[in-house]
Homo-oligomer: A and B are copies of this chain.
Amino acid sequence: MKSEPQPSIESQATGLWLVGARGAISTTLAYGLGALQRGWIPPTGLLTATPALESIGWVPWDRWHLGGHDVCLRDLSASAQELVQAHILPPGWPAALADWGSQYEQAIRPGLLDGAGEGLEGLDPASVTLSQRTPREQIAQLQADWNQFEAERGLATTVIVCLASTEAKQLARPEWDVLEQLDASLDRGEPQPASLLYAYAALDSGRAFVNFTPNLGSRPPALHQLAELRGVPHCGNDGKTGETLLKTALAPMFHARALRVLAWQGYNMLGNRDGAVLRQEGHREAKLANKDEALRSILTQPGSQPNPDLHSHVAIDFVPSLGDWKTAWDFVHFEGFLGTRMSLQFTWAGSDSVLAAPLVLDLARLAELALRRGESGVLAHTACFFKAPLAGGTHDFHRQYQILLDYLGGVVPPS
Contacts and interface: CB of A to CB of B under 8 A. Distances in A.
Interface of A: 28, 32, 35, 41, 43-47, 49-52, 87-92, 245-246, 249-250, 252-253, 256-260, 262-263, 265, 267, 269, 301-304, 309, 311, 313, 315, 317, 319-322, 327, 329, 331, 333, 335-351, 354-355, 357-358, 384, 396-399, 401-402
A64 B52 CA distance: 47
Contacts of A47: 256-258
**Dominant SS at the A interface?**
mixed
A152 to B, nearest CB: 28
A405 B245 CA distance: 24
A302 B265 contact: no
Name the 10 nearest CB pairs between A and B, nearest first. A398-B398, A51-B303, A346-B346, A262-B321, A45-B337, A342-B350, A249-B253, A91-B91, A267-B267, A340-B354
A169 B307 CA distance: 36
A46 B258 contact: yes
Given A253-B245, A333-B319, A338 B35 contact: yes
A335 B44 contact: yes
Contact of A311 (B50, B320, B341): B320
A384 to B, nearest CB: 7
A18 B397 CA distance: 37
Q: Quick one: copies of this chain in the complex?
A: 4
Contact of A28 (B87, B317, B338): B338
Contact of A339 (B44, B315, B343, B401): B44
Contact of A350 (B91, B321, B336, B399): B336
12 contacts: A32-B337, A45-B259, A50-B303, A51-B303, A249-B250, A252-B401, A256-B401, A263-B319, A265-B269, A267-B315, A319-B333, A329-B331
A169 to B, nearest CB: 21
B336 A44 contact: yes
B267 A245 contact: no
B336 A355 contact: yes
B267 A329 contact: yes
Given A258-B358, A346-B344, A322 B87 contact: no
B322 A333 contact: yes
A250 B46 CA distance: 18
A344 B401 contact: no
Contacts of A259: 44-45
A257 to B, nearest CB: 7
Contact of A246 (B245, B253, B267): B253
A268 to B, nearest CB: 10
Contacts of A269: 263, 265, 331
A52 B302 CA distance: 6
A407 to B, nearest CB: 14
A332 to B, nearest CB: 10
A253 B51 CA distance: 17
Contacts of A35: 338
